[in-house]
Amino acid sequence: MELKKNRPKIGLALSSGGARGFAHLGVIQALHEEGIPIDVIAGSSMGALIAGCYAASQDIEHLVKFAAVFQRKSYLDFEVPRLGFIKGERVRQLIQLLTHGKNIEQLTIPIAIVSTDLHTGEKIVFTNGNASEAIRSSISIPGVFLPYSYAGRTLIDGGVTTWIPVTEARGLGADIVIACNVSPENQNVKAYNVLDVINRSIEIMQIEGRRISSKEADVYLNPDLSMYSSTAFTNISEMMYSGYLTLKNNKDSIYRLIENWKGKQNE
């Protein structure tokens, strides 16, 4: 189904979720195949990374191929822990490369990147400024990555305040928001290491936030990723496929929403 004229503005809201966030790429890939455009995109933590890299070029096939061969250890710069185990400069440099050194306002589609101010507890939403720095701040998992100093603030993971940025996608002008949450709804999730404990703790704190976001979204996707760790960057192709399949299984709902929107415009 190719959508051309007289159509709603479609937004995509991508959740936090660590390594499971690679499933977002599968969702985007399936949207491309279905001819469903992404007019605006918002992301938190890993969702911000995927959103930013996609918005830089919209070359989803390149991103899928890169993700399939991604080696996390090549981009981790460990240091003696004070505020975090990982300095994160190598990751920022990688993001700088993937976003072509652009500012957020220079990306191909409007994007919102969510982060959190460590000192005030405020949600910080970036819609302009350096893309790699905003994304680096959004992925600053507490206790893992060093907090990121940017624009006079000390910033940590966006998932601390906003797991799924549905409101932010709506704020960019989306008429229809497709939300993808890569956190398992099953509450019996095992933790295998200290990183899993940290990530799972944030997930638990955001249970109510996820529930609210699921109701605010027009389409809510929750790929089955319960068998994958949020910190193990393995099985990436399988996680992407889970996201891909979830979108395919929900495409008819999206088409109906689009047609209903068109009908209301013609009344």
Above 90 in pLDDT, residue 74? no
Segment 127-145 shows an average pLDDT of: 93
Above 90 in pLDDT, residue 81? no
Active site includes 45?
A: yes
pLDDT at 259: 93
pTM of the model: 0.91
Band (pLDDT 50/70/90 cuts) for residue 38 is very high
Angle CA 29–34–39, to nearest 5: 75
Above 70 in pLDDT, residue 132? yes
Kindly tell me the burial class for residue 192, based on how many C-beta atoms sit within 10 Å of its own C-beta (0-12, 13-18, 19 or more). exposed
Catalytic residue selected from 16, 44, 45, 242: 45
Q: Which of 62-76, 153-167, 224-238, 244-258 has the lowest mean pLDDT?
A: 62-76
pLDDT at 251: 97
Q: Which of 136-150, 164-178, 195-209, 227-241 has the lowest mean pLDDT?
A: 195-209
For the chain, percent of residues with pLDDT exceeding 90: 64
Catalytic residue selected from 157, 213, 218, 242: 157
List, in sequence order, every beta strand (DSSP E) within the chain.
Answer: 10-14, 40-44, 84-86, 111-117, 123-126, 143-145, 148-150, 153-156, 176-180, 219-221
Q: Which of 54-63, 69-78, 106-115, 159-168 has the lowest mean pLDDT?
A: 69-78
> pLDDT per residue over 89-102, tens digit each?
888 999 999 999 99
pLDDT at 80: 43
C-alpha–C-alpha distance, residues 195 and 144, integer Å:
7
Whole-Å CA distances, 164 to 23, 84, 220? 14, 24, 10
> pLDDT per residue over 146-172, tens digit each?
899 998 999 999 999 999 999 999 999
Active site includes 196?
A: no
C-alpha–C-alpha distance, residues 219 and 79, integer Å:
41
> pLDDT per residue over 240-249, tens digit each?
999 999 999 9
- Locate 104 and state its tokens: 């957020």
What secondary structure does DSSP assign to 76-127, as a single string? Answer: --B---SSEEE--HHHHHHHHHHTTT-BGGGSSS-EEEEEEETTT--EEEES
pLDDT at 83: 60
Task: Give Cα 186 to chain centroid, integer Å.
Answer: 20
pLDDT at 41: 98
Average confidence score pLDDT of the chain: 89
Q: Which of 106-110, 181-185, 213-217, 229-233 has the lowest mean pLDDT?
A: 229-233
